[in-house]
Structure 1
Amino acid sequence: MKFVVYRENFINSIEHPIFKEQCRDYFANTQFRRDLFVRGKNTLTPLQIREKLRKISFVLLTAPEHIPTTIQGSLGQFNLIQEIYKPIGEYFQKNNYAPVTLAEIENNIPELNYNQISNALTILCHLNITQPCFNEPTDLILKQLQDFNLYTLEQASFHPNYQVLANPYSGIGITTDHFSQLSYPAHFIDKLKSAKQFAEYVHKNLLNLNLLVLNEKGELVKDKAESLKIIQKKRKILSIPTKLKLHKH
């Protein structure tokens, strides 16, 4: 804490604006500052900003129960107030994870005000838990991105080289681990329902790649029965966005 106080006092004592921000980057080990490197910046009044932000849609990328309760920042650890974040997450879930505007959240959660909602969405965007959205994507865009995602997921049965799926609603990639890439086709394409079927599907693909699952101690598991139990347990915490749709052609 003493270091944090010293750092802030030192940075605030620097008068030259550019050198001040450079020192802040050195302390925080920041490689890219999105708040500084913006082309064509237009300064808006607070009322203009509020009006525009109310019209922007956002999409939640994970289940509400997976939203963290604390975050680690450059000044230390901060608690995410559950009285704010929990109802926002539940509202996305209630709407089947479809994109919703800030104004919709504001109108449907009257106990939260504009500042609370906008600050929460800003933090969730920085955590890559929510993403701002464009207008409803066209049928052409949906088909092209579904084709891309389907190809990526099919390749997961051969190698773990791809880590991103495309999101047609935000235009931004979604980081997706190899286990999830093996799991989505089982859910969306092959329509597997039971936990046993799901585990067998994923386990077979892992064996074809000469990969083994890890137990809670980080040890490789060679026993099939134990591996299936671990996969079934992992499936329970897997977040599957219902807006993601995949079909074989």
Structure 2
Amino acid sequence: MSTVWNEGYFTDVAYTYGYYREINPVFQRFCLLLRGFAAPDAAQQQHCELGFGQGVSINIHAAASPDSFVGTDFNPAHAAHANQLAAISGSGARLFDDSFEQLLARTDLPQFDSISLHGIWTWVSRDNQKIIAEFARRHLKPGGLLYISYNCFPGWSPAYPLRQLFALHDRFIPGATGAVQRVEAAMKFSEGLLAAQPNYLKAVPHLPERLKKIMEQNRHYLAHEYFNREWNCMYFTDVVDALSPAKLDFACTAAPLDAVESVNLSPDAQTFLGSIGHPILREQARDYFVNQQFRKDLYVRGPIRLPPVLRHQQLLQTRFVLQQHAADVPLKVAAAAGEATLQEAVYRPVLDALASNQYAPKTLRELVAALPALQEVQVLEALTVLVGTSAAAPCQSEAAARQVHKRCDALNRHLIERAQFSNDVEVLASPVLGGGVPVRRFQQLFLLARAQGRKNAQEWAQHAWRIIEAQGQRIIKEGKTLESPDDNLAELTRQANEFAEKGVPLLKALQVA
């Protein structure tokens, strides 16, 4: 049962165990560099995450980076879980269950090179938003960056009343006792209201489809997403104004695909936006063209534009690595302008080059040298799209990777052992990325079997089947439950063979396997 300390935030169920690459300092620095901004360059950086949820992201980053990390989440159950992971990795991360107000009052905090908050801003009160801005004003270094993500208009405008229906039903008809039951009841109420054809549907005919997609999502996620007392959707310019007292200026989004306008905007839209001289007005106008409903933004306290020559040199030195098997990367990308087909004559050679030498990371300079038929600008745009779609990622330095290898091994060993009983954390720490790489539960079980000396895919599958069979679990394939042991083992064997062929080489390159 939640109590007064929750300040209206939904705490009756724990938050999900998601990982968010946008909080990775390596990824953040790449986003700034891509747009021509200088990033913090201290040798030993200090980072802070506000509202870390279950602490998966901050612990992955603390384990996989030589930097120092501080964070808070005022739910003590979240903080307890996060501190357990920190102790296992030995990262030294300092993780509190302070409210933002309590964190602001602390006198034992350093000046930070970055402060990050993912999915926090529009779910807290206006007073807490002011406290967050004041925290950044006091604790973010000059030149430091702030990452912030939030629900925004105009994309949320048509469906905003849906959230209001959920919250009002939960407030005025509190019949259900459990969190999941409360969510279900509010969803059913809203579904019934729309089925009765209110006039509002004439203005927003796609609302039932939007509700259907919402109803397909994890109920614990929905409880935190829609059932808090505070839910302050904002325009981009509202956030700019709210952060200005902290001396923060908008730099760019933490979405590399936004840098490739051809997949996001029509030629007419590009021309119109290009005619707007003020960068803040241009960014706000862009949200109308892409119908933005969730922003991932980077602000800097005193942004510095890099000279083009220096930006070019730093990009050439940046290392990249694939996170998917090259043959499995689709040559299509879904963006604001619709689905775009990527040029095979450009992307296939880039993917092959990234896959060469057992997927070892490669600098942009090395890739350009290996692809003489392509122009450097083509290679960089291809890498930008591949990073934007999570098929590839920027890397930290080899020296940094060497420093954190043991910590990553310790955390990953715990997570793959935990996969015997749960699929809640489907990410492992990579010293190469300075962050996380997606690894599904069965793949983690195959890694566990491999670590225990089982030599081939058939043995990995048998090991995984013994674990899930003992728990009365069955595999669901194409929406159908596989009932017989033979069918389950056959499917696991298929997955293990595919993992041995495609997954293990990738994870070796990422220093996870």
**TM-score in terms of structure 1 length:** 0.83
**Could you tell me how far apart the structure 1 residues matched to 2:459 and 2:406 are?**
29
* Counterpart position of 1:116: 378
The 8 Å contact of residues 404 and 431 in structure 2, kept in 1 or not, is answered as yes
Supply the AA of the counterpart residue of 2:425: Y
2:333 partner SS: strand
Query: 2:345 matched to 1:83?
Result: yes
* Counterpart position of 1:55: 317
**Could you tell me how far apart the structure 1 residues matched to 2:387 and 2:456 are?**
34
Unaligned runs of 5+ in 2: 1-264
2:295 partner SS: coil
The 8 Å contact of residues 92 and 100 in structure 1, kept in 2 or not, is answered as yes
Supply the AA of the counterpart residue of 2:368: E
Query: 2:397 matched to 1:135?
Result: yes
Query: 2:493 matched to 1:235?
Result: no
**Could you tell me how far apart the structure 1 residues matched to 2:441 and 2:481 are?**
17
Query: 2:485 matched to 1:219?
Result: no
Answer with 1 or 2: which has the greater Rg. Answer: 2
**Could you tell me how far apart the structure 2 residues matched to 1:96 and 1:108 are?**
15
Q: How does 1:144-163 map to 2 (within 5 A)?
A: 144-163=407-426
Q: Number of matched residues?
A: 241
Shift of the 15–98 alpha-carbon distance from structure 1 to 2, 3 Å rule, reads closer
**Could you tell me how far apart the structure 2 residues matched to 1:43 and 1:203 are?**
55
How big is the shift at 1:156?
0.5
**Could you tell me how far apart the structure 2 residues matched to 1:207 and 1:221 are?**
12
How big is the shift at 1:186?
2.5
* Counterpart position of 1:165: 428
The 8 Å contact of residues 412 and 429 in structure 2, kept in 1 or not, is answered as yes
CA root-mean-square deviation: 2.8
Q: How does 1:61-76 map to 2 (within 5 A)?
A: 61-76=323-338
How big is the shift at 1:15?
7.7
Query: 2:280 matched to 1:18?
Result: yes
**Could you tell me how far apart the structure 1 residues matched to 2:430 and 2:292 are?**
30
Shift of the 17–42 alpha-carbon distance from structure 1 to 2, 3 Å rule, reads closer
How big is the shift at 1:33?
3.5
Shift of the 186–40 alpha-carbon distance from structure 1 to 2, 3 Å rule, reads farther
Shift of the 102–211 alpha-carbon distance from structure 1 to 2, 3 Å rule, reads same
Deviation track 1:33-77 (CA, whole Å, cap 9, x = no partner) reads 43x534543222433322210011111112111111111000011
**Could you tell me how far apart the structure 2 residues matched to 1:138 and 1:18 are?**
37
The 8 Å contact of residues 215 and 221 in structure 1, kept in 2 or not, is answered as yes
Shift of the 166–33 alpha-carbon distance from structure 1 to 2, 3 Å rule, reads same
The 8 Å contact of residues 429 and 512 in structure 2, kept in 1 or not, is answered as no
1:72 partner SS: strand
**Could you tell me how far apart the structure 1 residues matched to 2:278 and 2:350 are?**
41
* Counterpart position of 2:466: 204
How big is the shift at 1:130?
1.4
* Counterpart position of 2:245: none
Supply the AA of the counterpart residue of 1:100: K
Supply the AA of the counterpart residue of 1:76: G
Shift of the 47–163 alpha-carbon distance from structure 1 to 2, 3 Å rule, reads same
Shift of the 172–28 alpha-carbon distance from structure 1 to 2, 3 Å rule, reads farther
2:437 partner SS: strand
Query: 2:101 matched to 1:101?
Result: no
1:212 partner SS: coil
* Counterpart position of 1:186: 449
The 8 Å contact of residues 58 and 102 in structure 1, kept in 2 or not, is answered as yes
**Could you tell me how far apart the structure 2 residues matched to 1:29 and 1:209 are?**
43
The 8 Å contact of residues 394 and 433 in structure 2, kept in 1 or not, is answered as yes
* Counterpart position of 1:126: 388
**Could you tell me how far apart the structure 1 residues matched to 2:465 and 2:414 are?**
20
Shift of the 39–86 alpha-carbon distance from structure 1 to 2, 3 Å rule, reads farther
Query: 2:340 matched to 1:92?
Result: no
The 8 Å contact of residues 159 and 209 in structure 1, kept in 2 or not, is answered as no
**Could you tell me how far apart the structure 2 residues matched to 1:51 and 1:140 are?**
25
Supply the AA of the counterpart residue of 2:429: A
**Could you tell me how far apart the structure 2 residues matched to 1:191 and 1:108 are?**
38
**Could you tell me how far apart the structure 2 residues matched to 1:134 and 1:15 are?**
35
